[in-house]
A and B are shown apart, each in its own frame.
Chain A
Amino acid sequence: MGRNVEVIDDVRSIIAKSLKIPIERLTPDARLDEMGAESLDVIEIVFDLEEKFNISIPFKADEGTSLKIPGKDGQEELEFSTVSDLAKAVERLVEAQASK
């Protein structure tokens, strides 16, 4: 569990910094749009996560709240709207990167 807590905390602090809101508001269920994120904010958050974790997040501005990542059986679609969605996606991509 320790590692997951770390990831979600990094995700929270990146979002808090980008949206300029107190980190306490970013509970796991907090939705980015409800926290005031506009499309360019999300793109910046994705960029910061990529830099922080050295991963590539296949996020398209047009697809908004979902993420298509390569899974075991072809493409897998992940939710991408809450703080915990983002943390889960980051963990998956970090694992995929490590197993390469």
Chain B
Amino acid sequence: MNRVVVTGIGVVSPVGSTRVEFWSALVEGRSGIGPLTNVPTERLTTRIAAQVRDFDPSRHFESKRESLLDRFSQFAVVAARAAVKDAQLEITEEIALEAGTIVGNSAGGQNTFDESYFKLYGQNAPRLHPLTIPRLMSNAAVSQVSMDLGLKGPTFTIASACASGTHAIGQAFQMVRSGQVPVAITGGTEACLTVGTIKGWEALRVLSADTCRPFSRTRSGLVLGEGAAIFVIESRDRAMARGAPIYAELSGFGMSADAGDITALDPDGAARAMRAALSDAKLNPEDVDYVNAHGTATVMNDKTETVALRKAFGGSAETLAVSSSKGVLGHSLGAAGALEFAATALALHHQTIPPTANFEEADPACDLDFVPNTARNAPLQNAMSSSFAFGGLNAVLVLSRA
């Protein structure tokens, strides 16, 4: 069994598209939530989002190529290029043939869906663009990453709603650990801030009208986001041999399903996934210093997640630092787990806990140390990143200081 490390981090996020901008916003608790400007908002009640701003695809793709890529694929390719560069990974023939490419995504090419259906139903267009299907298919992003970097090994996408990114990284981790692939390019991507999708979320009545305040008594719901985070992960031996930068070690992965409610989180299911991840990492609850929580800022999620953390961590929950990055990043669904994995890896790398942004006052139902608003320097040996998806699918990763 290989030890597995993270050697490259690439992000496209509401708070910037370099690792440095991303991390400084998280540490400062500077929120990327703002007015929704990429789509017409007249028919929407919710007009805020954690939107990726100032993303100009023409800076990254020539026009013929750009027309092939939905926004969710553009994000993934740009983040993947950044991760490979960050890892100083040369795509040799061996890497090209053997590396795994596994990207999580929940909703496919929603911008393409929305534009096409508007033409079809709204404008009675007789036909759609010939690249409609290749742009909107759920695997478009991972396929575009594979084509862009010339990666020809095991390549597929994982869809598990808000846990997609975490499931993808977990799968890639297991493939590198077992020796099935020497290196993997993995993460998550999402771009579904369209009129159609936002209307769907409005109908679920869980969106906040102002901002995202995880674990705060005054929390008012979630705020949708978008973005991508892609990583290079590889065996520790290989990374050391080639002198690659190492951000953190990936030490455990746990999964579970609630088999219960379609939307409500089940504390037992969530706690089982956390415990499975700890057991996979061969760690005890008290070995974990920091949890980057799912923390969506709905009343129910945050209360239930607190119960789940107590179930999984027992007495050591009292001394555990927990924060949610969603006050800064919003909830980018299939990309959320990957962006939060980046936050967790960087927390270990910088030995700094990013705070829970927008925190106003403590909620008796959420009675853990949520690191409100101010980052904290602390010796961090092990950390956890959790994702709990609609449909009751839970995925949890454990990382350790490299």
A binds B: yes
Is there contact, CB below 8 Å, between B206 and A61? Answer: yes
Nearest A residue to B205, CB-CB: A61
Neighbouring B residues of A46 by C-beta, 8 Å? 205
Neighbouring B residues of A62 by C-beta, 8 Å? 205-206, 220-221, 298-300
Indicate with 1 or 0, residue by residue over A56-68, a CB within 8 angstroms of chain B CB atoms.
0001111100000
Given A60-B221, A62-B299, are A40 and B206 also a contact pair (CB < 8 Å)? no
Neighbouring B residues of A63 by C-beta, 8 Å? 299
* Interface check B203, CB cutoff 8 A: yes
Is there contact, CB below 8 Å, between A39 and B264? Answer: yes
Tell me, rounded to whole Å, the shortest Cβ–Cβ distance linking A34 to chain B.
18
Indicate with 1 or 0, residue by residue over B215-230, a CB within 8 angstroms of chain A CB atoms.
0000011000000000
Of the candidates B203, B298, B299, the one whose C-beta lies within 8 Å of that of A47 is: B203
* Interface check A33, CB cutoff 8 A: no
* Interface check B261, CB cutoff 8 A: yes
Per the CB 8 Å criterion, the residue count for chain A at the interface is: 11
* Interface check A23, CB cutoff 8 A: no
Interface size for chain B: under 10, 10 to 19, 20 to 34, or 35 or more residues? 10 to 19
* Interface check A21, CB cutoff 8 A: no
Q: 3 closest Cβ contacts across the A-B interface?
A: A62-B299, A61-B205, A60-B205
5 contacting pairs across A/B (C-beta < 8 A): A60-B205, A60-B220, A60-B221, A61-B205, A62-B220
* Interface check B262, CB cutoff 8 A: yes
Tell me, rounded to whole Å, the shortest Cβ–Cβ distance linking B400 to chain A.
36
Residues of B217-273 at the interface with A, using a CB-CB cut-off of 8 Å, are: 220-221, 261-264
Is there contact, CB below 8 Å, between B204 and A61? Answer: yes
* Interface check A30, CB cutoff 8 A: no
Neighbouring A residues of B204 by C-beta, 8 Å? 43, 61
Give Cα distance in the complex from A47 to B221, angstroms. 19
Neighbouring A residues of B206 by C-beta, 8 Å? 60-62
Nearest B residue to A46, CB-CB: B205
Neighbouring B residues of A38 by C-beta, 8 Å? 261, 264
Neighbouring A residues of B221 by C-beta, 8 Å? 60, 62
Give Cα distance in the complex from A34 to B245, angstroms. 58
Of the candidates B205, B220, B298, the one whose C-beta lies within 8 Å of that of A43 is: B205
Residues of B365-400 at the interface with A, using a CB-CB cut-off of 8 Å, are: none
Give Cα distance in the complex from A60 to B298, angstroms. 10
Residues of A26-42 at the interface with B, using a CB-CB cut-off of 8 Å, are: 38-40
Give Cα distance in the complex from A39 to B304, angstroms. 15
